[in-house]
Amino acid sequence: METRNLYYLICVAEEKSISKAAEKLFITQPTLSQHIHKMEKSLGVQLFDRTTTPLSLTYSGEKFVEFASKVLEAEREFMQEIADINGFCKGRLTIGISAIHGSSLLPTILPKYKERFPGIEIVLMEENSHKLEEMAERGKTDITIANLPIQNENLTYETLTLDEVVLAVPKDLLPDRIKRKNLAAYDRFTYEEIEISELKDCPFLLLKPGHKIRQIGDAIFEEKGIRPRVVLESVSIETLYGLTSIGMGVTFIPKSLIPKEGLNTNTPLYFFSLRNPATNYCMVAAYNKHRHLPIAARKFISLVKDF
């Protein structure tokens, strides 16, 4: 049985639709149906229950998908090892990363990586932290850029950098005691301390649940017994930062994402440390400890540490 048929089978199982799988595989629906039918005829079993919507696997189909996944993973690891042996001239690096880390890390690192290793194809898988850990465990990514703690026991990691989550506050929402200090806006290196309870009545702009920075914020709110007035949720830290910069509310932001120069607006922003251990977090490169880590991934990790 050809390897491509195993890919086809898994794709149909994941999409639960031959038409959607065919679109994803860039082949026609009749061609894909013919491949599936030939597999069933060769095996002497029905792999899909076509009476259900969406399409579902039979028991035999479930077992065969398990087998096909193992075969493809073995092939992938073998090809990675062969690429390593052949001098790291060509290959592929699949990186799982959140939008937040992608916006801060990739513009700096990827051009340098491609300059050093032009034969390596980069594939990005962008999801939230929970899905990224799942993808790393299943081998769908070579490495996943995430924050500690890593919940999945099958993953190990290498530390890339330490960071701190701070509060970005528009001038009009500053507490009176801080307004009287006449602080300089956009100060990236000196952070006045603040108690989040001083901002409990302010509107908050937060990342949607599932993001690590949101989890940090929720933990602090819970610790202080505060029920924040959330006026907007987003999956984009850049969107929240932009809205904070025009005075719409207060948001959490990692220090590493604060621009060297503030946005050109009429509403100065101020950044405050909460001096809470929960706001310190570690960015890591996580991967399945039971799988081969290719040279392409090791080189990427090393480059991030350097820069």
How many domains is the chain partitioned into structurally? 3
CATH no. for residue 177? Answer: 3.40.190.10
Residue found by looking up tokens 């850049």 in the block: 238
pLDDT band at 96 (very low <50, low <70, confident <90, very high): very high
Mean pLDDT of 249-261: 81
Q: Enter the tokens of residue 171.
A: 């001038």
pLDDT at 245: 87
Instruction: For residues 275 and 166, state if they share a domain.
Output: yes
Q: What is the DSSP letter of 257?
A: G
Of 82, 105, 121, which residue constitutes the final position of a domain? 82
CB 186 within 8 A of CB 244: no
What burial letters (b/e) apply to 21-45, b meaning 16+ CB within 10 Å? bbeebeeeeeebeebbeebbeeeee
Within this chain, do residues 199 and 51 fall inside the same structural domain, yes or no?
no
Name residues whose C-beta falls within 8 Å of residue 258's C-beta, 6 or more positions apart in sequence: 166, 168, 186, 188, 271
Alpha-carbon span 277 to 107, nearest angstrom: 29
End residue of a domain, out of 20, 51, 82: 82
3-state helix/strand/coil string of 203-238: EEEEECCCCHHHHHHHHHHHHHCCCCEEEEEECCHH
- 251 pLDDT more than 90: yes
Same domain, 29 and 67: yes
Domain that holds residue 243: 162-280
Query: What six digits make up the tokens of 152?
Result: 């999945």
Q: What is the mean pLDDT of residues 68-93?
A: 79
Cα separation of 237 and 163, whole Å?
A: 15
Question: Residue 55 maps to which CATH number?
Answer: 1.10.10.10
Rounded to whole angstroms, the Cα distance separating 103 from 89 reads 28
58 lies in the same domain as 201: no
Same domain, yes or no: 288 and 274: no
Q: What is the mean pLDDT of residues 103-117?
A: 88
> pLDDT, tens digit, for every residue of 213-241?
898 899 999 999 999 999 999 988 889 98
Which token pair is 126? 């962008």
pLDDT at 182: 61
The pLDDT, as a whole number, for residue 188 is: 40
Mean model confidence pLDDT for the chain: 85
pLDDT band at 286 (very low <50, low <70, confident <90, very high): very high
The residue-averaged pLDDT of 180-207 equals 74
73 and 47 within one domain = yes
Amino acid at 196: I
Could you tell me if 157 and 204 lie in one domain? no
How far apart (Å, rounded) are the C-alpha atoms in residues 209 and 205?
Answer: 12
Identity of the amino acid at 6: L
Look at residue 187 and tell me whether its pLDDT is greater than 50: no
> 287 near 155, Cβ under 8 Å?
yes
User: Looking at residue 190, what is its pLDDT?
Assistant: 47
Domain stops at, among 82, 103, 130: 82
* 123-142 residue pLDDT tens: 988 887 778 888 888 888 99
For residues 10 and 71, state if they share a domain: yes
**Do 258 and 173 share a structural domain?**
yes
Examine the domain organization and report whether 141 and 166 are in the same domain. Answer: no
Q: What percent of the chain has pLDDT over 70?
A: 92
- 167 in the same domain as 74: no
In a shared domain, residues 176 and 212: yes
Reported in sequence order, the residue ranges of the chain that DSSP labels E, i.e. its strands, are: 48-49, 56-57, 91-97, 120-126, 143-147, 155-170, 192-193, 203-207, 229-234, 251-254, 269-273, 280-288
